[in-house]
Amino acid sequence: MASPNPIDYFAIKNTLSLYCIALDTKDFRLMEQVFTEDVDAKYPFAALKGMQHVADTIQKRLAPITSQHALTTQTVSIAADGRTADAVTYFTGIHFGQGKWKGKEVTAWGKYVDTLTLFEGKESLPGASGQWLISRRQVMFMGRLGEERVMEGE
C-alpha cells in the first residue's frame, strides 16, 4: 500500500476553496471544477442531485445577496487506494442584504462533510494525482444569526 500523494491534500483543499469563490463571485461555471456531474448533495434547504442542479439552486438562492464564505477548521483523509477522500470543513458564510435589506446580514456557521473522487488525467494542481471533485456533500448548520429575510431579496 503506497502512501497518499501529499500534493493531493492541497488539490483537495483547492477544490473546497473554489466552491466558496464560486459563491462569492457568483461565477457558477466554477461548479464544474468543484462537483462531479452526478454529485449527491444535501443542504439544510434541499436535497440535490447533479452538479447543474446544485449550481442552479445555489445561484437562485444567492441571487438577492452578496456573500463572503470562509473555511476554517478542516480534516482531510485520503483512502488507502488513493481514489477517494473524506473531508470535514467548518465554514462561516456572511450574507449581505441588498435593496431594502441593505445594511442587514445573516451569518451561518456550519460544516461541509464531503466525499471527493479522484479523476486521473485532469490535473488541477501540478504534481497532484489528478482532479479531485466532490461526489457527495452534506451541509450542516451549527448556528445562524441575523436577519433571515435578506435571503428573500426585494
| pLDDT value at residue 1 | 53
The alpha helices in 3-127, defined as continuous H runs, are: 6-25, 51-62
For residue range 17-63, what is the model confidence (pLDDT) as tens digits?
A: 999 999 999 999 999 999 999 999 999 999 999 999 999 999 999 99
CATH code of the domain made up of 6-148: 3.10.450.50
| pLDDT value at residue 14 | 97
**15 pLDDT higher than 90:** yes
Q: Quote the CA–CA distance of 69 and 87 in Å, as a whole number.
A: 17
**2 pLDDT higher than 80:** no
For the chain, domain boundaries = 6-148
Q: For residue 22, what is its C-alpha cell?
A: 464560486
For residue range 117-130, what is the model confidence (pLDDT) as tens digits?
A: 999 988 789 999 99
Write down the pTM of the prediction: 0.95
Ramachandran angles phi, psi of 19, nearest 5°: -60, -50
